[in-house]
Chains A and B, each alone.
Chain A
Amino acid sequence: MSLVPPVLVVEGLVRRYGDRVIVNRVAFTIAAGEMVSLMGASGCGKTTLLHMLGTLDRPDEGRILVEGRDVARLSAAERTLLRRERLGFVFQQSNLLPELSTRENVALPAWRNTGHRQQSLARADALLKRFGLDRRADAQGHVLSLGEAQRVAVARAIINEPRLVLADEPTGSLDSDAAHAVLDALSEICLTGAALLVVTHDPSVAARCTRRLTMRDGQIQLDPDQPRIAAVI
């Protein structure tokens, strides 16, 4: 039994769209510092699950505990605050706001969180430097390469030092070099003690994770090749 307290606990999660069950009694935990992949065929419910974990969508049944707090018991304002302070998101593409520069894109969540623009921009600059993007700080989002844009999105996802980062196919539209750079950036998240759940189709991405979850028909499958797997139905 791990002594590290779980950042995320999922119990009996169910999500239906009409008569169709998209996520069916899913349960697992993710501890702080863990890098967990979630694999599965298209349409198996990965993104729906990810959005429920990120409080963008609500489950029909089950519980989601983020750092011990049941998100179903939170008000809309508290869920917004949870997303802002404790969660980070990286999506597959179109992650950046085109009117803003790279540093402004990264600084935006911190600016909203603290109200201090200059401090947020300084923190954004530090993150961009860490990810080797400092020379692109003033570039608009739309002139960046896909790989650069995804690393900017990773920097933005962690600027408020979240406890859990949810990444939805972050390397899905990247070549292998760019994908490696993004994975390197994502890996750094876990070094800070945050947990990472990354939805992917790419086995090489899953291979870099400490644990792998596989979804099929809305359910988490036990994988005999993955002895470290902790997911249970």
Chain B
Amino acid sequence: MPEPEQDPMPGLVAEATRGRPIDAGTIEMAAVETGPEVRRRTKKGLGFAAWLSIGWIALVVGLAILAPVLPLDDPKDSITEIARRGPLADAGSAPGHLLGGDFNGRDMLSRLIWGGRTTLTVATIAVIIGFVFGGLLGLLGGYFRGKVDVVVSLLLDVLLAIPAVILALALVTILRTQPGTKGGGLDPEVALILALGFVAIPVLGRITRASTLSWSEREFVLAARAQGAKHRRIIRREVLPNVLPAMMSIALLSIAVAIVAEGTLAILGASVETDTPTWGNMIAIGRINLQRAPHVVFEPALMIFFTVLALNMLGDVVRSKFDVREGGL
């Protein structure tokens, strides 16, 4: 799973005033040095874009959860009239089905909603796995440093040396097949989740480690140690509560990355079998009919795009809310 994008833009007010006493001189120099940026940073409340993102994610998640009780067509049911018909399709639009049908005649709308359910489940659980194991490794390495960190870093580096897509692909293949026989082995969905989760471990581990390292060097940790607190207690009470908020935005970004990864793997044939829709495998099977029925590909593609966009936006907003406290005066 490729590394989630981190925006390195520095907090300009914090940077301009860091380390200097706050008085008239500081305000003057901060104003001289940062100019227009000074106004922008402290806008109160969330912007319009942020609310839009929250809305979209709420919608998608809501539909995903409610899928079984919504009045949708069975995503596996074929309705011949709407086969290969839909917006932009060669065969014209489908009667009664707004988003058309795929080449088997299955209703796109219901497939999209059920697909979202599977995709989001896969992405979320994979990220949780990555966080639990990667996070644990990163926490240990970043906090204890020394030999522990050498081992942890080595472990992370080794796993990172193999491109994520390839590793995930190999893992899915391994997990899906049973020795000697064709078929059997793990359920493709489970295999996918485990593969993505495993690939997420080194990435999230590295980020957690970096965050833990910086927090462990703060004075309040040293103070706790000087008071004789046990490591476990310090980690639980001093380090973790500070690392977790920063990781929240990473979590959102990671889920976005996992959704894209599922799509990539689907194109390579490694996602769930195509009867169960996911946004990724809908694109994968729709590829053949791209020319005649592009909606089969582009409807799930747009779902991925908008959801990833919304998650990125939200992740950004969450981070800037916590960054203010981080670089605060």
| Same assembly | no
- B-contacting residues of A (Cβ < 8 Å)? none
